[in-house]
Structure 1
Amino acid sequence: MAAIPSKLKAGDRVRFVSPASTPEREGIARRAEILESWGLKVDFGRHAFEKKAYLAGTDEERLADLNEAINDPEIRGIFSTRGGKGSYRIADRLDFDGVQKDPKFPIGFSDITMLHLSLYKRCGLIGLHGALAAEEDGNFSAENSEALRRALMQPGFAAVLSRPEEPTSALTTGGTANGRLIGGNLDMVAMAVGWALPDLRGAILLLEVVNMHIGQVDRQLTMLRKAGHLNGLGGVALGQFTGFDLKSDFSVINLLREHLDALDVPVLGGLPLGHGSRPLVVPIGTTARLDTAAGTLSFPD
């Protein structure tokens, strides 16, 4: 049974937690100011700025912050301060009963994909893949901020339009697909196999990647395909694949084409979702429509 959060309104309280790595305080303070300008009230998990090696505190501390936010009736949205590494260590220990009793949007991407996958598999919870993302100059684009505000606070979800300048746009095929949008960061999708990956039959699989070697991408897609996890897939939505050498004789685009052609499903590339410039926001777990001719990923529900 799906757990569908209510949209937020001015006066609602949201909380920043750190399920993965430690964020920079200044960047989170700036994000909190933007949320407050929308009329939201912002607070922070007790361990949001802890540091233990590459993690924001111990597993128990990070888990406690998440579960406290899940069970606090005053908290209406749960923002991850960042991705990095570590949410996969606690994704199977969330208070899933609490989520079903009081569903609220989890917001994040990258390593946070693991939480989206686990929460959808166990509870059918709709999450938001995205964040208030800063550009290379440190500023927050109005397009990115407005996309998140609309996803959180306005009815429905806006369609996302493919951008020709995104390298993965070259992989767009033909056709349409309808199904639940599931996925996010490829590294987390592959890591979720066997314990946190939902059934992908009939789904539209969202994939984005940052700072991975092309061989790693090949290994993960090969495993997903050969183990049968992509059998029956409805379609593929490709986000931003960043940090790759696209001028090599065999680029990540060539590699993706090999794997995706073997699936024989509609593919829409060029979606501004991930770690690139001006990323947008999409709901994970809700029904989506992929239209390659129109270049859109839309949400009819």
Structure 2
Amino acid sequence: MKNLIKPNHLQSGDTVAFVSPSSGLAGEEFVSHRVELAKQRMENIFGLKVKVMKHALDGIDTLYNHPQYRAEDIHDALLDDEIKGVFSFIGGEESMRIVPYLDENIIREHPKIFMGYSDVTSIHLKFYKAGVMSYYGPAVLTDFAENVEMDDYTIKNIKKVLFTNNTIGNIPTSNYYRKFGLKWSESNKNVSREKINNQTYEVLSGKGKATGTLIGGCFEVLNNLRGTEVFPNEDAFKGKILFVENSESQLPIYFLKQALRSLGYMGILKNIEGIIVGKPQNDENIKEIKETWIQVLKEHHLEDKILFFNASFGHNEPKCILPYGVVATLDAEQLKFEINESGCS
């Protein structure tokens, strides 16, 4: 079992950095109001000061053409003694381009909270390879800049995971999810996104309990990273709880099926202790996705593997935070997902 370095927790008055490790969207004028709103909420809700890193607002074209700028911002944030946490503005589609520029020694020698989701999975796996815990959780432009108000579920999970060194404990699903699709134009800033009633976890296979350390991310990104230096080998998945969720640009169902079969062929599905899958955004293709997971597990004679569905993380608002490397338990009888240790030191 790989023991990751656990960063120190945040306190009111700390400074956190905003970075753009994937898309440079945060630097575009039409979302500038969301950048400012997120900064205000960091201070007003969490008591945090914000330092926007040098290149984080350079814009889409510049950051696409200069991936090393994005890596430099992460390095500078980690090396800055004033900064205690690093938050991603948003995901995108090519964060893997900055992975070769990231220095594992800097990551390892200056362990700090690094949080984001979606395409930022590439960066999380680089932190994992370096031996440092990171956090699959809210992004600046999506969650901290939610229209009208931040979701209480998200706020509570941030405080529970990042602001204490207490055991995280039970993580229920949110009792609602927000409908995706409202444009981010400033004219919509006072329009609250629709809340849709949500259900608790659904157990698609398995009985009893499964315990292991967390590893995973956005499924599409994980699929693209297979064979790269940051994708763990099959043995690294032994004793793990795999957490995965689909992006807003889902793989076609036939492609998802083949990708899951690949994980089976590689021995990963056999090696893991259990699986927890995030709710698909807007419940898109939910029936087909569930059927595909069940089918592929059956093909590999893994019908007894515990598989939870409908978790509130990733491409859903509100969302919880999943720290890489913490011990977690899936209880199929009680429909409970628990993290059995703290998320921070």
For the 8 Å contact 1:80–1:107, the answer to whether it is kept is yes
CA offsets per residue over residues 158-213 of structure 1, 9 Å max, x none? Answer: 42124694597262542211111000111122222222123211100001002312
| Residue of 139, 163, 171 corresponding to 1:160 | 171
- CA–CA distance in structure 2, aligned partners of residues 182 and 108 of structure 1: 14
For the 8 Å contact 1:55–1:85, the answer to whether it is kept is no
Matched residue pairs, number?
Answer: 298
| Residue of 150, 174, 179 corresponding to 2:207 | 174
Q: Which amino acid aligns with 1:234?
A: E
* Residue 119 of structure 1: how far off its partner (Å): 1.0
Q: Which amino acid aligns with 2:223?
A: A
Structure 1 residues 103-112 or 156-165, which shifts more? Answer: 156-165
Structure 1 residues 1-10 or 163-172, which shifts more? Answer: 163-172
Which residue is 2:222 aligned to? 189
Which residue is 1:221 aligned to? 260
In our comparison, the structure showing a higher alpha carbon Rg is: 2
| 1:79 matched to 2:118 | no
Say which structure is richer in helix: 2
Secondary structure of 2:246's counterpart equals: strand
Secondary structure of 1:252's counterpart equals: helix
Structure 2: gaps (5+ residues): 176-197
* Residue 57 of structure 1: how far off its partner (Å): 5.4
For the 8 Å contact 1:190–1:224, the answer to whether it is kept is no
For the 8 Å contact 1:16–1:45, the answer to whether it is kept is yes
Structure 1: gaps (5+ residues): none
| 1:30 matched to 2:37 | yes
Secondary structure of 1:204's counterpart equals: strand
Which residue is 2:186 aligned to? none
Q: Counterparts in 2 of 1:139-150, with a 5 A limit?
A: 139-150=149-160
| 1:281 matched to 2:337 | no
- CA–CA distance in structure 1, aligned partners of residues 57 and 208 of structure 2: 46
| 1:205 matched to 2:215 | no
Runs of 4+ that moved beyond 3 A = 52-57, 132-139, 162-168, 243-247, 260-264
TM-score (norm 2): 0.79
Which residue is 1:10 aligned to? 12
For the 8 Å contact 1:209–1:241, the answer to whether it is kept is yes
CA offsets per residue over residues 57-112 of structure 1, 9 Å max, x none? Answer: 51111111111112112111000000112211122432211222221111101111
Which residue is 2:339 aligned to? 299
- CA–CA distance in structure 2, aligned partners of residues 224 and 136 of structure 1: 35
Q: 1:149 to 1:266 in 2, by over 3 A?
A: same
- CA–CA distance in structure 2, aligned partners of residues 240 and 47 of structure 1: 33
- CA–CA distance in structure 1, aligned partners of residues 327 and 124 of structure 2: 15
Q: Counterparts in 2 of 1:97-136, with a 5 A limit?
A: 97-123=105-131, 125-131=132-138, 133-134=142-143
CA offsets per residue over residues 219-238 of structure 1, 9 Å max, x none? Answer: 32122222333331111011
| 1:239 matched to 2:278 | yes
CA offsets per residue over residues 237-291 of structure 1, 9 Å max, x none? Answer: 11122256448xx722211211234334111222111212422212122111121
Secondary structure of 1:16's counterpart equals: strand
- CA–CA distance in structure 2, aligned partners of residues 65 and 176 of structure 1: 41
- CA–CA distance in structure 2, aligned partners of residues 299 and 207 of structure 1: 16
For the 8 Å contact 1:201–1:230, the answer to whether it is kept is no
For the 8 Å contact 2:13–2:48, the answer to whether it is kept is yes
Structure 1 residues 60-69 or 222-231, which shifts more? Answer: 222-231
Structure 1 residues 199-208 or 31-40, which shifts more? Answer: 31-40
TM-score (norm 1): 0.89
For the 8 Å contact 2:121–2:217, the answer to whether it is kept is yes
Q: Which amino acid aligns with 1:18?
A: S
* Residue 154 of structure 1: how far off its partner (Å): 1.9
Coordinate RMSD, CA, aligned: 2.5
Q: 1:131 to 1:78 in 2, by over 3 A?
A: same
Which residue is 1:93 aligned to? 101
- CA–CA distance in structure 1, aligned partners of residues 337 and 262 of structure 2: 26
For the 8 Å contact 1:83–1:110, the answer to whether it is kept is yes
Matched-pair identity in %: 26
- CA–CA distance in structure 2, aligned partners of residues 13 and 190 of structure 1: 34
